[in-house]
Amino acid sequence: MVKKIFFQLIFFNLFFLKEVFAAESGGMPQLNPEFWISQIFWLTLTFGILHIVLSKLILPKISANLELRKSQIQENIEAAEKQRESSEAKLKEYDDIISKSKLKANNIFKEARENVLKEINTKKETLDKQIDEEIKKVEQEINLLRKGASEKINKIAIETTSELLVKLIGTEVNNSSISAIVDDLSKRNGDKYYGN
Amino acid sequence: MAANPMTQFEVYRIGPEIKVGAFDISFTNASLFMVISSLAILIIFNLGSKKNSLLPNKIQLLAELSYTFVSKMISDTAGSKAKPYFSFIFSLFMFVLFCNMFGMIPYTFTVTSHIIVTFVLAAFIFIGVTIIGFIKHGLGYLKLFVPSGVPIVLLPLIVVIEIISYLSRPISLSVRLFANMMAGHTMMKVFGGFVISLGVVGGWLPLSFSVALTGLEILVAFLQAYVFAILTCIYLNDALNLHH
């Protein structure tokens, strides 16, 4: 195998022998000064134009773009920071409002309760007064009636006793003596009959 | 043609021969890829800076990421004084990067694989940095060659070494980029040639190498552009801040 490759190499090299010799005789094309002036000229021209266009037109644009982007990003960050701050402030405000309104609601509730209680109390008082007055009136009436009732009963008792005495005995008894006895009885037993 | 790994570096005329006086400034394949790289950079970054949306689209993100990448690189290595040179270093980094990357496409020409191109860039940087140094510090810029804290006996030797290292800056800068690009592309071509010459039987090994090398070369293409730009920043830092 190695032998085969070796022979192949030699065989193929025979084809290129001519060029190998040519290269040895020619040496490096770089050292041939035929086109040196041309290369210097074209290098100066192309590199000069390249440098002028890059430095005057393109590089300032790129640097401006970079600066602009930097400042834009900085601005955005600042704007975001500001918005964050303002949102925090708004959140605080909101919390304040909420707590204030809670307090207010509590106050209103308390006030309303107190008012209602007061009203109830006053109404109750007036009602109590009215009731008391009416009770007093009624009691007075009752008293009057009671007084009136005992007198009437006494009268009835006197009349009936006098008539009974007339029918039983046939003689008229003085009314005043009867009334004295009735009064005495009624005083003694009044509590039993009329109660209290 | 395919076998010689150096033919890919050959420069040839496209279109007629243009002569200004004794100088031949014909449009060549090298010029074509310089134009293509520059146009690609301009188109991409123009698209990337056209609209300014708060949420960037892909191409805008690309443009802005490279902007911040280069600007951070400059401020890290050369400080805030290097801000006026930002656009130059940005163009330089992008130009070298795009030339390297376009060179990675098969059958294209790698502009930066030519010593004359990298040397012109490096010489321009060297002369520019030296001028900036003398404008900023006057003759005090020569203190760069006299490091502090060196015994007086050693000073003559150190100064000579410092001057040589300073003068070799454009050469080291240009050769680093040129040699990396050329070596990488040559190696890929050689392995590609092996794939053909070893055929179906033995070609798989160099093919897998070739695939791995492609990935490596893309890394190198980016890395060399980065190194080129960051060394420019370091030279600029010497000229602006004079730390020695």
At residue A78, does pLDDT exceed 80? yes
The pLDDT of residue A41: 94
DSSP β-bridge partners for residue B24: B19
Judge: A50–B38 Cβ closer than 8 Å, yes or no: yes
- Mean pLDDT of all residues in B35-56: 89
Judge: A41–B23 Cβ closer than 8 Å, yes or no: yes
Contact residues for B100 (Cβ-Cβ < 8 A; gap 6+): B110, B112, B181, B220, B221, B222, B224, B225
Residue whose pair of structure tokens reads 């656009």 in the numeric block: B87
The pLDDT of residue B237: 92
Compare all CA atoms of chain A with the CA of B47 and give the residue at the minimum distance. Answer: A58
Judge: B6–A28 Cβ closer than 8 Å, yes or no: yes
User: Would A81 be classed as within a structural domain?
Assistant: yes
Residue whose pair of structure tokens reads 């060179």 in the numeric block: B103
Sign of the Cα pseudo-torsion (B140, B146, B147, B148, in order)? negative
At residue B208, does pLDDT exceed 90? yes
Question: What are the tokens at A175?
Answer: 């009314």
Residue whose pair of structure tokens reads 């030519």 in the numeric block: B114
How much of chain A is in helix, strand and coil states, percent to nearest 5?
95, 0, 5
H or E element that contains B123: helix B115-137
What band does A191 get if pLDDT is binned at 50, 70 and 90? low
List chain B domain ranges.
7-241
What band does A173 get if pLDDT is binned at 50, 70 and 90? confident
Burial of B132-141, coded b for 16+ CB within 10 Å and e otherwise, reads bbeeebeeeb
DSSP string, B146-195: S-TT--TTTHHHHHHHHHHHHHTHHHHHHHHHHHHHHHHHHHHHHHHHHH
The pLDDT of residue B202: 84
**B111 vs B11: CA distance, rounded Å:** 10
User: Would A70 be classed as within a structural domain?
Assistant: yes
Report chain A residues whose CB lies below 8 A from the CB of B31: 38-39, 42, 46
Compare all CA atoms of chain B with the CA of A61 and give the residue at the minimum distance. Answer: B49
Q: Is some CB atom of chain B closer than 8 A to the CB atom of A8?
A: yes
Whole-model pTM? Answer: 0.72
User: Would A39 be classed as within a structural domain?
Assistant: no
Question: What are the tokens at A150?
Answer: 């005992």
Compare all CA atoms of chain B with the CA of A21 and give the residue at the minimum distance. Answer: B4
Q: Considering its fold, how many domains does chain A have in total?
A: 1
Judge: A62–B48 Cβ closer than 8 Å, yes or no: yes
Range of the domain at A183: 57-194
In degrees, to the nearest 5, what angle opens at C-alpha B7 toward C-alphas B1 and B8? 110
**A82 vs A94: CA distance, rounded Å:** 18
What band does A3 get if pLDDT is binned at 50, 70 and 90? low
Query: pLDDT tens across A85-103, in order?
Result: 999 999 999 999 999 999 9
Report chain A residues whose CB lies below 8 A from the CB of B202: 5, 8-9
> Which among A6, A13, A24, A42 is the top mutation candidate for probing chain B, defined by the most B β-carbons within 10 Å of its own β-carbon?
A42
- Average pLDDT value over all residues in chain B: 91
- Among B110, B80, B85, smallest CA distance to B95 is for B110
User: Would A175 be classed as within a structural domain?
Assistant: yes
Residue A98, min C-alpha distance to chain B (Å): 42
At residue A1, does pLDDT exceed 60? no
**A62 vs A73: CA distance, rounded Å:** 16
**A120 vs A118: CA distance, rounded Å:** 5
**B107 vs B56: CA distance, rounded Å:** 35
The pLDDT of residue B231: 95
H or E element that contains B20: strand B19-20
Question: What are the tokens at B170?
Answer: 């454009």
User: Would A45 be classed as within a structural domain?
Assistant: no
ipTM score of the complex? Answer: 0.91
